[in-house]
Structure 1
Amino acid sequence: MLFSGKLNKLRTLALGMVFIGVIVMYIGYAAFAGFLGSWFASNAIIMTFFLIVGFLCVMGSTVMYMWLGIVSTKATQVYCPSCGKVTKVVGMKDECMFCKQLLSLDPADAPENRHHT
């Protein structure tokens, strides 16, 4: 259920950006230390470039997490008709975070066979 719902998809992307940033920074340090060949060894420009790119990935992820926190607090909470759990809907259509049931806030998408009492 890692990729169900818009919020979880974006959180997974932000987590991936953290890992990519750390890996890029590690590659920059490994190049500087000489683990990637003698041409890269002690080349501060290459190391600086990789460290800056990796740092920007991690900072971009941090900004994305902060933005997702704001979006999450303003998202509409609904009960999923399939699993009965409370989930958040971002926008007009989204998936349940637990069972991937498609949910909609648009009345035009409501099922027509529902009995009114």
Structure 2
Amino acid sequence: MLFSGKLNKLRTLALGMVFIGVIIMYIGYAAFVGFLGPWFADNTIIMAFFLVLGFLSIIGSTVMYIWLGLVSTKATRVYCPKCGKVTKIVGMRDECMFCKQMLSLDPADAPGNRQTT
């Protein structure tokens, strides 16, 4: 379920951006303290650069989560013919969030889908 459907893939990417941002910030702090060698120790410019870069990654992730929330409210809900659960489709074709069945809003492409409100 982690990588099924466009919404879940983008949410996983946003979560990864949070972790990458924290790791980048930790590298900046480790360089300042001297864990990465004496060349970077007590260098506030390098620490500030990494802290700002990590902060921007976390802010980018937050913006992505907000955008995905807006997209999720506008997504079309359909019944999956394979598992029988209601799932959301972004665009014309998407996977079921539960069973990874390819679903489509085009009747010629997938004739078994019923659209709900």
Settle same-fold status: TM greater than 0.5: yes
Rounded to whole Å, the distance in 2 between the matches of 1:3 and 1:76 is 19
- What are the residue-to-residue correspondences of 1:1-117 with 2, within 5 Å? 1-111=1-111
Rounded to whole Å, the distance in 1 between the matches of 2:110 and 2:18 is 39
Rounded to whole Å, the distance in 2 between the matches of 1:101 and 1:39 is 53
Question: Residue deviations 1:78-105, cap 9 Å, x none?
Answer: 1100000110000000000000000000
Rounded to whole Å, the distance in 2 between the matches of 1:111 and 1:39 is 64
Larger Rg: 1
SS in 1 for 2:36: coil
Q: What amino acid is aligned across from residue 20 of structure 1 in structure 2?
A: I
Rounded to whole Å, the distance in 2 between the matches of 1:103 and 1:54 is 37
Give the 4+ runs in structure 1 shifted more than 2 A.
none
Rounded to whole Å, the distance in 1 between the matches of 2:111 and 2:51 is 53
Rounded to whole Å, the distance in 2 between the matches of 1:36 and 1:77 is 50
Question: Residue deviations 1:29-81, cap 9 Å, x none?
Answer: 00001111111000001001100110000000000000000000000011100
Q: When the two structures are superposed, what TM-score results if normalisation uses the length of structure 1?
A: 0.93
SS in 2 for 1:37: coil
Backbone CA RMSD of aligned residues: 1.1
Sequence identity (%): 83
